[in-house]
């Protein structure tokens, strides 16, 4: 007779290929496109073509005043879109000095999830191509330390549901050997675990000079060991980028041991079995 572990394995295999999530999607890109029903429908069509069953729009917070959510509210109930679970999230650029503004913005909107991301170290937009040369004149270990301290502050703020692109600081290919397996990074993962947040596996890094998923496989392995939930996002800034690399991301997560992932609805987690690959 099959034991419990075998039954669970068989069940998991039967459920494979059920769900693919893309929760990190910028329909407006950096303001180049309008948040209109016609434009959003292009993302939904692409999700369908790529077998993504859970699609979440997550505009940058600094574009939020130009968004009329009636566009997505119009599309979600349409019978032709019934095969896709459509969610509305936001990606917030975390800066400690703007916590009160973030709180106010989140309080005014009913969202399915909030991604907290660090794009600035002080006044330095380190992931912006125009400012990457500053890495050449900095102590990389210090940059990493400052970056991860900000991520820690974002986690402690309890404002967010998802940690955005956890190791974004590697974007231009500058690496800190010191930080790779440091006790500080481990402490941060402990805090994420305590916070109940999920970490996204973000494939946007595949389009950047680093050419890697965020976070790295090593960190993802530590996330799994710390029992931290994951979700997925392509960081698409155009319908053509939607879902890019998610099969690789799923495979990587599967290989480190993950079999389930977190979705969100009304800022509460939902749980989904993972596809091994698509
Ligand atoms: Zn981001
Ligand atoms: Zn983004």
Q: What spacing in Å lies between the alpha carbon of 113 and ligand 2's midpoint?
A: 14
CA angle 256, 260, 261 (to 5 degrees): 100
Quick check: 10 pLDDT over 90? no
Average confidence (pLDDT) over 134-148:
95
* Residue 278, in any domain of the structure: no
Average confidence (pLDDT) over 184-212:
96
Residue 3: predicted pLDDT: 60
Least confident of 13-17, 66-70, 256-260: 13-17
Average confidence (pLDDT) over 165-169:
97
Q: Which of 88, 50, 60 is nearest to 246 (CA)?
A: 50
Quick check: 158 pLDDT over 70? yes
* Nearest ligand, measured from the Cα of 29: 2
Q: What spacing in Å lies between the alpha carbon of 126 and ligand 2's midpoint?
A: 14
Mean pLDDT over the full length of the chain: 92
Residue 179: predicted pLDDT: 73
* Residue 10, in any domain of the structure: no
Quick check: 4 pLDDT over 80? no
In percent, how much of the chain has pLDDT > 90?
Answer: 87
Number of domains forming the structure of the chain:
1
Q: Which residues contact 8 (CB under 8 A, 6 or more apart)?
A: none
Average confidence (pLDDT) over 66-88:
94
* Residue 7, in any domain of the structure: no
- Is the pTM higher than 0.75? The answer reads yes
* Nearest ligand, measured from the Cα of 120: 1
* Residue 3, in any domain of the structure: no
Residue 180: predicted pLDDT: 65
Q: Are 261 and 272 in contact (CB under 8 A)?
A: yes
Quick check: 103 pLDDT over 80? yes
Average confidence (pLDDT) over 209-233:
97
* Nearest ligand, measured from the Cα of 27: 2
Query: What dihedral do alpha carbons 131, 232, 187, 101 form, nearest 10°?
Result: 60
* Residue 1, in any domain of the structure: no
Q: What spacing in Å lies between the alpha carbon of 225 and ligand 2's midpoint?
A: 26
CA distance linking residue 254 with residue 104, whole number of Å: 38
Q: What spacing in Å lies between the alpha carbon of 117 and ligand 1's midpoint?
A: 6
Which CATH number belongs to the domain containing residue 68 in this structure? 3.20.20.140
Residue 183: predicted pLDDT: 79
pLDDT bucket at 16, cuts 50 / 70 / 90: very low
Domain that holds residue 261: 18-273
Q: What spacing in Å lies between the alpha carbon of 22 and ligand 2's midpoint?
A: 12
Task: Name the token pair of 181.
Answer: 């397996």
Average confidence (pLDDT) over 130-149:
95
* Nearest ligand, measured from the Cα of 237: 2
Residue 262: predicted pLDDT: 97
Average confidence (pLDDT) over 173-195:
87
Average confidence (pLDDT) over 85-114:
97
CA distance linking residue 149 with residue 184, whole number of Å: 9
């Amino acid at each position: 007779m099959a034991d419990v572990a075998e039954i669970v394995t068989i069940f998991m295999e039967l459920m494979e290929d059920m769900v693919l999530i893309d929760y990190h999607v910028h329909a407006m890109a950096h303001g180049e496109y309008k948040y209109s029903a016609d434009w959003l429908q292009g993302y939904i069509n692409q999700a369908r073509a790529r077998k993504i069953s859970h699609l979440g729009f997550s505009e940058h917070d600094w574009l939020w005043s130009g968004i009329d959510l009636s566009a997505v509210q119009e599309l979600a109930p349409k019978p032709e879109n019934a095969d896709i679970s459509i969610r509305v999230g936001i990606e917030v650029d975390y800066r400690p000095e703007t916590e009160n503004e973030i709180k106010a913005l989140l309080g005014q909107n009913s969202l399915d999830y909030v991604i907290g991301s660090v794009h600035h170290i002080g006044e330095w937009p380190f992931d912006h191509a125009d400012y990457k040369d500053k890495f050449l004149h900095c102590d990389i270990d210090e940059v990493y330390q400052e970056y991860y301290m900000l991520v820690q502050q974002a986690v402690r703020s309890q404002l967010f549901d998802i940690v955005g692109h956890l190791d974004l600081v590697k974007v231009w290919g500058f690496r800190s050997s010191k930080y790779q397996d440091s006790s500080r990074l481990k402490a941060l993962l402990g805090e994420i675990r305590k916070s109940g947040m999920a970490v996204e596996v973000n494939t946007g890094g595949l389009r950047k000079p680093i050419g890697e998923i965020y976070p790295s496989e090593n960190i993802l392995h530590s996330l799994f060991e710390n029992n931290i939930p994951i979700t997925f996002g392509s960081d698409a800034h155009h319908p053509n980028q939607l879902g890019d690399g998610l099969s690789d991301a799923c495979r990587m997560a599967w290989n480190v041991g993950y079999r389930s992932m977190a979705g969100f609805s009304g800022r509460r987690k939902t749980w989904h079995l993972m596809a091994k690959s698509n």
